[in-house]
Amino acid sequence: MTSGTLTLVATPIGNLSDISPRAIEALQAADVVCCEDTRRTGMLLQHLGISGKKYIVINEHTEFDACDDVVGKLLSGTEVALVSDAGTPGISDPGERLVKAAVLAGITISSIPGPSALTMALVMSGLSTSRFVFEGFLPRSGGERSDRIAQLVDEQRTVVLYEAPHRLERTLADLEVACGSLRRIVLARELTKMHEEMWRGTLHDAHKHSKSEEPRGEYVLILEGAKPPAPPTDDELNQALRDELNSGASKKDAAARVAAKFGAPKRRVYELALMIK
């Protein structure tokens, strides 16, 4: 028997006109639609004039158990579409576990690309898009949160975060303390919706802005990457070389260690070492 295909279908993040013709075709063709919330997806399908679908709920509570059921259906030839409440399934939304299980079972996976708040906010931010990291939602509290924020301090790639409006002020405050007041950030709010807004400024001003009015709606935060550290000066290299020489290292070994420590060219450091009396 030929297995069915698991099709990941991106749906609008606000403006319903962003649904693609291929997404509509995939939803029409599916025997089963996996979704987070049957009411929400039911309304979308109703808007698209699609009826008579069987729904299976895939959310953080059900994903573990539902995977076997869905994979079993796929293996027996059922065509399955996976959607989330909004945007691309699997991006801070359920789906990852189902895709992994389908891959393990040798099921064909296909995808209908479409909206995702992550890419839209990033490309509109005006910050570097050539290298970026997606952090999703930060942990809400505790050591896990502080560890993750600490990892962002020296991150040189642009960082994209999701945040709920009622946690925005706290997150901006924590980022300001960790990354400094002057790091630039963009707050992308209510993308594709009536009150779409891009706010650009420093972490300090963003924090102030979030306190001035109650944040409402959905937000993506795009944080400028950290500046690369300034190259070491000759004085710094000389001091480090002297420390190494004083502890008994040869000029060659001292130069190698100092070059590695500062990420400086070995030749330049060795030349400095040779000049030390």
Provide the edge-to-edge strand list for the sheet that holds 184-189.
132-137, 158-163, 219-223, 184-189, 197-202
Rounded Cα distance, 253 and 62, in Å: 59
218 binds ligand SAM (CB under 6 A): yes
Give Cα 149 to chain centroid, integer Å: 14
In 3D, which of 149, 37, 32 has the Cα closest to residue 93? 37
223 binds ligand SAM (CB under 6 A): no
84 binds ligand SAM (CB under 6 A): yes
Q: x/- string (CB under 6 A) for ligand SAM, residues 13-52?
A: xx--------------------------------------
CB 35 within 8 A of CB 58: yes
Residue from 33, 80, 219, 240 that binds ligand SAM (CB under 6 A)? 219
Residue from 26, 67, 73, 87 that binds ligand SAM (CB under 6 A)? 87
Q: Which stretch binds ligand SAM (CB under 6 A): 16-24, 54-62, 186-194, 267-275?
A: 186-194
Q: Which stretch binds ligand SAM (CB under 6 A): 49-57, 80-88, 104-112, 257-265?
A: 80-88
In 3D, which of 224, 253, 226 has the Cα closest to residue 241? 253
Strand ranges for 79-175 from DSSP E: 80-82, 108-112, 132-137, 158-163
Q: Which stretch binds ligand SAM (CB under 6 A): 125-133, 176-184, 214-222, 263-271?
A: 214-222
Residues 155-174 that bind ligand SAM (CB under 6 A): 162-164
Q: x/- string (CB under 6 A) for ligand SAM, residues 99-138?
A: -----------------xxx--------------------
**Cβ 161 to ligand SAM shortest distance, Å:** 8
Pairing outcome for strands 158-163 and 54-57: unpaired
Strand ranges for the chain from DSSP E: 5-9, 32-35, 54-57, 80-82, 108-112, 132-137, 158-163, 184-189, 197-202, 219-223
Q: Residue 116: in which H helix or E strand, if any?
A: none
Residue ranges binding ligand SAM (CB under 6 A): 13-14, 84, 86-88, 91-93, 116-118, 162-164, 188-193, 218-220
